[in-house]
Amino acid sequence: MSRSAAKLRTEPQAPECAGSPWDELDADGTGLSVEDFLTTRMHLATNALRQAITLPYVEQFGLTMPEWRILSVLAHCRQLPFTELVVRSATDKGQLSRTLKTMQERGLVVTRNQSPGGKKLDCLITKKGLALHDQLIPLARRAQADMIRRLDPQERRVLFRAIEKLGAMCGDAKGRRGGGWGE
């Protein structure tokens, strides 16, 4: 069993009526420490979840996190212009270019020029890439469900609504739902 899988076995119990540093937060954020910034908390939680949930199944198939993200988006859409893949995978252009090159070498994706000048690319998943995705996605779903089910139904609803609301407040239509992320 991997270290990250062992970490999932223990479920810390938060006190039910414990306060938060956000309870009496004023408009100026007086006294709010960097450790309690929303962005800091979300970043730390995301990294911990990625390490505990996603990395074990991704590494089992010899993929990196960026490769899995791109593979899952392309498996959902089958074909996307490079610029749209940048947005849907939340990957910067340089990282996406490097990752696509590696994935092409492995036969998981192909790119095609959209125009004679070669400035616009379409990214497509190959049969090999789709087969790999189809092997991996049941493990991903199971691992994700395992963590979600550790929350009681009310916690799940509150967390889901809070994430949706934060995404909407930041202009992210539906938190990129439907994009096929597998993280």
Q: What is the CATH number of the domain that holds 154?
A: 1.10.10.10
Is there a domain that residue 32 lies in?
Answer: no
Average pLDDT of the residues in 145-149: 97
Domain count, the chain: 1
The dihedral over CA atoms of 81, 83, 89, 91, expressed in degrees to the nearest 10, equals 140
Is there a domain that residue 73 lies in?
Answer: yes
- Residue 118 pLDDT: 63
Confidence check: pLDDT of 163 > 70:
yes
Is there a domain that residue 39 lies in?
Answer: no
How far apart are the C-alpha atoms of 164 and 149, rounded to whole Å? 19
Read off the pLDDT band of 18 (50, 70, 90). Answer: confident
- Residue 14 pLDDT: 54
Query: Which has more pLDDT, 9 or 101?
Result: 101
- Token pair of 145, please? 């469900």
Q: Which residues contact 108 (CB under 8 A, 6 or more apart)?
A: 67, 71, 125, 126, 128, 129, 132
Could you tell me which of 130, 78, 69, 58 has the C-alpha nearest to residue 100?
A: 69
**pTM, full prediction:** 0.77
Is there a domain that residue 139 lies in?
Answer: yes
Is there a domain that residue 36 lies in?
Answer: no
Is there a domain that residue 106 lies in?
Answer: yes
Confidence check: pLDDT of 120 > 90:
no
- Residue 2 pLDDT: 47
Q: Which residues contact 104 (CB under 8 A, 6 or more apart)?
A: 110, 111
Look up the domain containing 118 and give its range: 50-173
- Residue 54 pLDDT: 94
Could you tell me which of 78, 96, 85 has the C-alpha nearest to residue 133?
A: 78
SS3 assignment, position 177:
coil
